[in-house]
Every structure is written in structure tokens, then in C-alpha cells.
Amino acid sequence: MKQFTVDDQTSKVRRVTFANPPYNLIGAGTVAELLDIVDRLSGEEQASVVIFDSATPGFFLNHVDSDQIPAIADMTGSGPLPKFVELGVRLAAAPFVSIASIRGRARGGGAEYTAAFDLRYASREQAIFCQPEVGFGLVPGAGGTERLTHLLGRDRALEVLLTGQDYDADRAAQYGWVTRAIPDAELDDFVDAVARRIASFDRHAITAVKTQVNRSTLPSEENLLASFVESARSTTGPGVEARGRAVGKLIAQIGIDDLERNLGHHLESLAEQP
């Protein structure tokens, strides 16, 4: 079943909408389908700007479905990078400008991919960001550590990665996690205006500017691969099984919907108390 739709907004602007209700979890099918879309749009000479949004209320790009971790880990890419990592690399290096219109939660692997978009505009009232891996005894593996360190700086990246807290759009904008926080009622018009303005310029100049910026800002494939290997190794760490049992107990108490909507708040209850 398709999880993405692609629409032509103008001759030069495309919109990619993600819908995998109820929580927009990422699975192997999500990665494969989105990578195919990025590749296809990269080959469209007229596609200068691509807007990415969500049709699932409350969620943008969420974390990886835990049941899908083995399948995602086994996905081989076109080169040395696994497909889970390659998606973020291809997105950041695409010849079009990618704009994330974030209305809802971006967590875990979804937050890692969100950091790979060129521009990120977040709903002030609805966007939430979180890297919760540490609370499950895991570490990120799709480029989140590398991209967040560049965007936020070392200390704030460590805060985000080591606390697993939920961050609202205003705090994310203050930290540099997103480009701007926009009032929800204004988000769509603002994103459309930015997309149309950029698309009105020469595509070759747009791509050349992005290539120049990428040279000094994108993480190396060597570091990305090292992080993926460390992430895969962490799935068999000593604390993962115990935290998995704690998640099951917590879901039995509060329900999966509460956990997904308030993951950062509940994450501390999975940890051993000092």
C-alpha cells in the first residue's frame, strides 16, 4: 500500500505527502518508497522545489516501527551505505530544494530525516521534535547525530540526544533544529510562498548554490556508516530487552496513543532510577 502521494503544485513545485496512519511510523516500505520518489524527482528537470508534508493529524515523520527494525537493517543501498542511511544522503544531495512543512511529531528516524531537508518550517502549535533512542538503550543510525551536531552545535546536540525530551517548535527554532517556527494558520501560505519564490529563479543557479553549501555542511559517508554500525550494535545492548519490557508495561497502563503523543514525557519512566 502506497504511503506517499506526489502532486504538482506548479510546473516547478511538487508536493510529497506522507500518510501512514495512525502514527506515521517508518518501516522498510516507507524508506524504499520515499527513496524511489526522491530519485524520480531528482531526474525531473522541471522540479526545482519539493514540499514534504503529512496527511496524518499530529504526526509528520515519526520513529521507526520497532517490528520493522530487522527489515530496515537488511536493506542494502546502491553503494556502501545501507538504504536507511542512503535516503537521508540522497535527500540532502538532491538537485531540487526540499522544504519540510512540519505539522505534528518528528521523532527518532523521522527526526533524522527531517534534519536532512534543506528548509524546515514548523507549526508553532503542533510541531514536536524528539530523538528518543537513548531511552530505549539505542543510538540513532540515520545521520541524526551528525546532522544535529552541525545544526545545533555540540552541546545542544548532546542535550537533545541524551535527554530524549520533546521540543516544541519555538525551542527547535531557537536551537537551529528548524528554519523557523510559524503560526499554524499561516504555515501553508508561508511555505507555498517560499517554494514559489525559489522556483521562480533559474534551476541551475539554485542547484549550484545548494551544491556549494553542501560541500561544507554535509556529513561524510564514513561517519554516517560508522553511526549506522553503532546503531545496529546497540539493538543487542544489555539494556534494550529490559526497556522493551518496560514499554510493554507502560502501554498496558496508558495505551499506545498516549505513549506516541507524549513519548518524551513518558521516556523517563522506562529508565532505571539513579
Give pLDDT tens digits for 51-73: 999 999 999 999 999 999 999 99
Secondary structure (DSSP) of 1-63: ---EEEEESSSSEEEEEE--TTTT-B-HHHHHHHHHHHHHHHT-TT--EEEEEESSTTBSS-P
The DSSP bridge partners found for residue 76 are 82
Q: Are 60 and 20 in contact (CB under 8 A)?
A: no
Residue 72, all three cell numbers:
530496515
In a domain, 271, yes or no: no
Angle at 18 between CA 227 and CA 161, to 5 degrees: 30
* CA atoms of 75 and 242, how far apart (whole Å): 27
Q: Are 138 and 244 in contact (CB under 8 A)?
A: no
In a domain, 158, yes or no: yes
In a domain, 242, yes or no: no
What confidence score (pLDDT) does residue 169 get?
Answer: 98
What confidence score (pLDDT) does residue 239 get?
Answer: 84
In a domain, 25, yes or no: yes
Maximal CA-CA distance, the chain: 57
What confidence score (pLDDT) does residue 274 get?
Answer: 46
In a domain, 210, yes or no: no
What confidence score (pLDDT) does residue 270 get?
Answer: 79
In a domain, 212, yes or no: no
Kindly report the CATH number assigned to the domain that includes residue 39: 3.90.226.10
Mean pLDDT, 10 residues at a time, over the chain (274 residues)? 96 98 98 97 96 98 95 92 96 97 98 98 98 95 95 98 97 98 98 98 96 95 95 90 90 96 91 55
Q: How far separated are the first and last CA of the chain, in Å rounded?
A: 45
Number of domains in the chain: 1
82: domain range? Answer: 4-199
Could you give the percent of the chain with pLDDT greater than 90? 92
* CA atoms of 78 and 76, how far apart (whole Å): 7
What confidence score (pLDDT) does residue 195 get?
Answer: 98
In a domain, 19, yes or no: yes
Give kind and range of the element (H or E) at residue 251.
helix 240-254
Residue 207 identity (one-letter amino acid):
T
Angle at 50 between CA 46 and CA 54, to 5 degrees: 145
Task: Provide the strand spans (E) within the chain.
Answer: 4-8, 13-18, 49-54, 97-102, 105-107, 119-123, 128-130, 167-168, 180-182
